[in-house]
Amino acid sequence: MEKFLITGLGNPGILYKKTRHNLGFLILDQISKKYFFSFSEKKLGFVSVLNLKKKKFFF
C-alpha cells in the first residue's frame, strides 16, 4: 500500500481566517468535504487518515 503525507499549513487566529495565509487549511477543508472525512485535534495540529484506491493518505 502506498502512503502519502499531505500537509496544509496556516496561521492560527481570526485575523488570518479566509486569507492567503491559510490557503493550506482551506484546501484541506475542501478535500475533507469531497471525501467525507474529518480531522482530530492532536498535540500541535489536526490529523486525519483516508484510505482510497489502495492508497493511504495522511493529512
Mapping DSSP to helix (H, G, I), strand (E, B) and coil, where does residue 8 land?
Answer: coil
- Which residues are annotated as catalytic? 21
pLDDT of res. 7: 94
Q: Which amino acid is at 22?
A: N
Global pTM reads: 0.81
Residue 57 pLDDT level (bands cut at 50, 70, 90):
very high
**Residue reference for cell 479566509:** 18
Residue 13 pLDDT level (bands cut at 50, 70, 90):
confident
